[in-house]
Copies of this chain bind each other. A is one copy, B any other.
Amino acid sequence: MTYCVAVKLKQGLVMASDSRTNAGIDHLATFRKMSVFQAEDRILVLLSAGNLATTQSVVSLLQQQIGSQDDHLENVHSLYDAASLVGSTLRTYLSRHAERNELDSGVDYSCTFILGGSIKGHEHRLFTIYPQGNFIEASEDTPYFQIGESKYGKPILDRVIRYDTNMMQAVKCVLVSFDSTIRSNLSVGLPLDILLIHEQEIKPSLQHRFLDGDPYLVSLRESWSQGLKTLFQSIPEPPWTI
């Protein structure tokens, strides 16, 4: 499995992904789930969850398209068109496999993407692209998307993330969300890739890979864990005498 989170804030975008993949419990491996498409007038960041063969193929196909006469991620006019292109590339790939009857083998070939970025002169935007190729866009009301093992880390996002949350607060919240997920689910693991894009920017404001032992991440995990225990102890017990 995998866990990716992306947040669309007033201040810009926070994109984060883990890097563990597994096929069963034997085949654990590390693969980056974040692909960056950087051109002069734009930055697009793609996060992926699901079948690794599918996600890698779709990313490779999207990269191969660049420079061709057709639409590709570095020449489409809008983020909407970019999401549409990712969706159609995914659909084309999956239908090719369906024709070969490979989809009947019981293997789940599907995957889900999050696409975030900005194109010069346009607002930053964020989309979730479904296995069917259709997609939804983040809004002020629903400013974050998760894909993969999303449930363990959802409660803290629900409590903290708003459209006007400060970017560094959002980064902290995303890291806490990953911490809860990593503790409760073996299929999500470090390293953790994070990329920030400030509004109006078309380059990453920051790109960081948290490795095991990263001092800030270690301190955050310890403070959070210790703080939770202290908070938990501070809450009164039920007023029952039994």
On A, residues with C-beta under 8 Å from B are: 149, 151-152, 154-156, 158-160, 168-169, 171-173, 176, 180-181, 183-184, 196, 198, 205-206, 208, 216, 219-220, 223-225, 227-229, 231-232, 234-240, 242
Contacts and interface: CB of A to CB of B under 8 A. Distances in A.
Nearest to A231: B227
A198 B149 CA distance: 36
A155 B171 CA distance: 20
Nearest to A235: B223
A228 B225 contact: no
State the number of copies, please: 2
A232 B168 contact: no
A173 B238 CA distance: 11
A227 B235 contact: yes
A184 B157 CA distance: 10
A112 to B, nearest CB: 17
A225 B183 contact: no
A158 B184 contact: yes
